[in-house]
Structure 1
Amino acid sequence: MAVLTLAPDEDVESLAAALAPARFAGGTHRVDLTVEEYGAYGRFADRLAAAATTGDFMSERALFRSRY
């Protein structure tokens, strides 16, 4: 439930723009993130892991984070 209630922020907007179909129209292509977009991805992944593990053990958070 905590994951579903994450509020969109600037990182989410940046990633949505980077991964939008218009950026790689014509099929599936590799997406190379800029330094700023990669930073946004890292912050979002940390937020997602924190919400998904709801503050449980750091090892569980790290394992979740490594998957995404």
Structure 2
Amino acid sequence: MSSKQGGKAKPLKQPKAEKKEYDEVDKANIQKKKDEEKALKELRAKAQKGALGGTGLKKSGKK
């Protein structure tokens, strides 16, 4: 008994997620969360830029 199934088996398709309906309170909370994440991202970018900007004197490999 031999089967002629070759190659990879195709993965099963996932059912599409249903669209959720949000009321005004949920929409406000989602927007607030997005704004907070955006502010944190900007602060992180500023912190990294400041830390890398003042590296000071670099030592050369030569003696």
TM-score grouping bracket, smaller chain normalisation: 0.3 to 0.5
**Higher relative contact order structure (alpha carbons within 8 Å, sequence separation ≥ 6):** 1
Could you tell me the TM-score, scaled by structure 1's length? Answer: 0.39
TM-score (norm 2): 0.42
Larger-Rg structure: 2
